[in-house]
Chains A and B, each alone.
Chain A
Amino acid sequence: ETGVTQTPRHLVMGMTNKKSLKCEQHLGHNAMYWYKQSAKKPLELMFVYSLEERVENNSVPSRFSPECPNSSHLFLHLHTLQPEDSALYLCASSQEAGLRSYNEQFFGPGTRLTVL
């Protein structure tokens, strides 16, 4: 596997379910990101991890819980979601987290989430 991979590619869940999204990067990067892409809205940054430490949390509801066990893996744990949480969830990685600068991000293919 190369680049950034995400599993599953598609997920349908009920509002009472608990599920997890997985992201893995094979680029040797130190920073990882979760984005949400909803229809007719700009891509929204959710979380930023640098060296396994969460450094940014953009007012994301607590029903989304990220986990970064090591610099290659990132999870997004989902519980009691709402239908409006249905979206494409994209993971990205970069060499560093870019404090006061920007490091090019490489994106995964995304997980299409539908909440019923």
Chain B
Amino acid sequence: SQELEQSPQSLIVQEGKNLTINCTSSKTLYGLYWYKQKYGEGLIFLMMLQKGGEEKSHEKITAKLDEKKQQSSLHITASQPSHAGIYLCGAVLAFSGYSTLTFGKGTMLLVSP
């Protein structure tokens, strides 16, 4: 099974609606990063969460980290077509060796007018 599960795999919402994407880890989280990717392009950094209970917001996007549940959520309020893309969570799962991120498979978001 995968170390980092994202749900849902894909999502279609009507413009103006709210939505939530979840990222659940099977291991202890030492840090959680959210990225956005447009199809076939590089990753754009959104937010980083490190402490349990931490919550960060940028414009209409809010991310929370529930360390005990080993889970993070990304909430978009009043979605717009510009929010469409693939949202990836990446987690720091261990501190042995050269730590890099373990990624989820991503959630594809489409926003319909």
- Interface set of A (CB-CB < 8 Å, partner B): 4, 6, 33, 40-43, 45, 48, 50, 55-56, 88, 90, 92, 97-102, 104-110, 112
Contacts and interface: CB of A to CB of B under 8 A. Distances in A.
8 contacts: A6-B42, A42-B102, A42-B105, A90-B43, A97-B98, A99-B97, A102-B31, A109-B41
B88 interface: yes
Interface of B: 2, 4, 30-31, 33, 35, 40-45, 48, 88, 90, 92, 95-106
A7 to B, nearest CB: 13
B42 A56 contact: no
A113 to B, nearest CB: 11
B30 to A, nearest CB: 7
Contacts of A55: 98
Given A43-B103, A107-B35, 13 more contacts: A6-B42, A40-B105, A42-B102, A42-B105, A43-B101, A45-B100, A56-B100, A98-B100, A100-B97, A102-B101, A107-B44, A110-B41, A112-B40
Contacts of A106: 45
Contacts of A104: 33, 45, 48
The interface centre, meaning the residue of B4, B30, B104, B106 with most chain A CB atoms within 10 A of its CB, is B106
